[in-house]
Amino acid sequence: MSKNVSQFMIEKVKQFNFFKTLCSFFPIIVWLPKYNLKKLKGDLIAGLTVGIMVIPQSIAFANLAGLPVQYGLYTSLTPGLIYCIFGTSKDANVGATATMSLFTHNINTTKSPIGASLLAFWCGIILTAVGIFKLGFVTKFVPFTIISAFVSAASITIAISQFPNLLGIKGAPTTSFPILDYLRQKIKLTNKYDVTLGIICIVYLAFFMWLSKRKLNNSPKRFALVRKLCNKFIWVVCLARLILVCFFSAIVVYIFFKNGKTQQFTLAGNLTKGMPKCQSPFATAQLGKNITMSTSQFTRDFGISILVLSMIQFIEQYSITKGFGRKFNYKVSARQELIALGMCNIAGSFYGGWPVAGSFSRSAVNSMSGAQTPLAGAFSFIVVIIALELLTPALSYIPKSALAAMIIMAVITMVETRVLKSIWKLSKWDLFPFFTTFWLCFYNLEYGILAGTGISLIYVIAREAFPKYCVNKDKQNNSITILLKTNLSYPGSETLNRKIHSIVRKNDGIKNICLDLSNTSYLDFSVLKAFETLQNELSELSIKLCFIGVTKESLRKQLEFAGLTCELKEQIELQQNKQEEGVYRRPTVTQPVLLCQDTIPPKEEENHEMTQSTEVFTLPSIITVDNIHFKDQ
């Protein structure tokens, strides 16, 4: 035994390729030697364009996360640089997103910057570990319906959370329904300056969102150049709509300040100038005059939310990278994306960042702007540095109502409305986990996801408890053949056994029962034990149990190792005639049959008529989608 193990280890060592392993962890080693000026031009334009988007979004998301404004820029500082080293997608842009900001606001109840950084650190550790140990398949247990319900509920929650800032009402709660009740009671305290500026910003953003989908295509050919320039101008203006909102709203506030009117608008707050200092996320947080909170206390307060948040981070990230990979025909490594996202969160946690993930809106702009490699994120990093060093005095004049307008318009397109119609047509049962997740997310995002996923898993297990099969009765030979249409797992083995006993009771004189395993690729331990019990029970009734269609050698060995003595007898072939739905025709004899314990004597004549009887159990299928896209964040 030890000799075999040592030989195995020696072979693995010989197969180990250090450089290949290094390249898998650091993809930059693969593409950097092929870098040229053409790629540099594309990355530079894309990086600067996305960097301009990052500044207003980061400030708005800091407001959503309940943290000081400068921490939004801190969060967007390092991810682009780190993803450039570890990432595998040329189009993805990692940084602050609306969903991650909302999660941070809900999980980090103390609203401490250190708590937010610690949350990012633990998420980074989990994501990196999952990537190294190849455990990313866990996210496949969250079906599309749950993700869709979560995104819709989170979007509405984010929008509702910005109503107080839009109206200029202070002291509002942090959850959806209490916010609405509070606004109903305090509606008379609405700040007319804030709400007027906020509505103007919403109308402006809505107009440019509409304009971005329009192009000038009907002009004569002689004006082709003019048409092209106009389309380009419209694209640039629509792309810069967020920075323009910040610019014009800041000018309005500045004019008021110059005229001595400093109390009319609610401002986002002063931004600390300069780069953030490297600080450990494990530092003790000072929450009040005599109140502190340690790392262990923060971690206990986060609880299982860390795992849920990590899962959502990866789902967002991989859906974006996989989508762009398919569009532009390049491969994306799920494992490496986990590691890259984990490293982005770990690095960001030392510079005041909260949890980050891929942003669909910025990734789309990054792609349209001509990004060639992940290096485009590094140029966005430079733009954020410039903003921190030079633009903080101007950014301090941005009002909260303008930021609220930007957030509301960003998340309103994320609400999934068409999916309900599709679910209703395809699988009405899936509406139950959808609405369970949707409504619970208004109470607690993590509970909504866990409850919806739990219901979906119970549904899957319930389907396994009622396996699909077809029954054929051959009265002339007193035998019954049962074709299993899918793999049989332990929840369904008892159902099958009960059905076989029911058939035996209803049909006197049965001598043989054949289980057709031609569609079965594996059997677990519980199923094998159930077969053993069934064999013993049928033997007492003088009925032989046999397995046919066992084409896999491993499956045959499983049956033998389980104590089901099998012997090869006549050559029988399973020629399955064209079946109508729910009808199984007994195959003709030409291939081996595996017989348990006693054997069935070979039949002298096989060309006889058979009585057919079929029972098939079906349940509606769960909707599955490989590539999930988040419309805008």
pLDDT above 90 (res 299): yes
Dist CA 468 CA 485 (whole Å) = 5
Instruction: Note the pLDDT of residue 594.
Output: 38
Determine which of 198-202, 230-234, 608-612 has the lowest per-residue pLDDT on average: 608-612
Instruction: Note the pLDDT of residue 547.
Output: 83
pLDDT band at 565 (very low <50, low <70, confident <90, very high): low
pLDDT above 80 (res 348): yes
Please give the sequence-ordered ranges of beta strands (E in DSSP) within 56-154, or none if there are none.
Answer: 94-95
Tokens 């769960």 correspond to: 622
Express as a percent the part of the chain with pLDDT over 70: 85
In this structure, the dihedral spanned by the alpha carbons of residues 537, 538, 542 and 547, taken in order and rounded to 10 degrees, is -140
More confident residue, 335 or 598: 335
Cβ pair 103, 355 in contact under 8 A: yes
pLDDT band at 569 (very low <50, low <70, confident <90, very high): very low
Query: Are β-strands 512-516 and 479-484 bridged in parallel, bridged antiparallel, or unpaired?
Result: parallel
Determine which of 19-23, 192-196, 272-276, 564-568 has the lowest per-residue pLDDT on average: 564-568
pTM: 0.78
Cβ pair 543, 509 in contact under 8 A: no
Dist CA 531 CA 594 (whole Å) = 14
Instruction: Note the pLDDT of residue 12.
Output: 54
Q: How high is the mean pLDDT of the chain?
A: 82
pLDDT tens by residue, 78-116: 999 999 999 999 999 999 999 999 999 999 989 999 999
Instruction: Note the pLDDT of residue 558.
Output: 83
The DSSP secondary structure of 570-587, one letter per residue, reads S------PPPPTT--PPP
Backbone phi, psi, residue 425, to 5°:
-75, -40
CB atoms within 10 A of CB 509: 7
Backbone phi, psi, residue 612, to 5°:
-110, 140
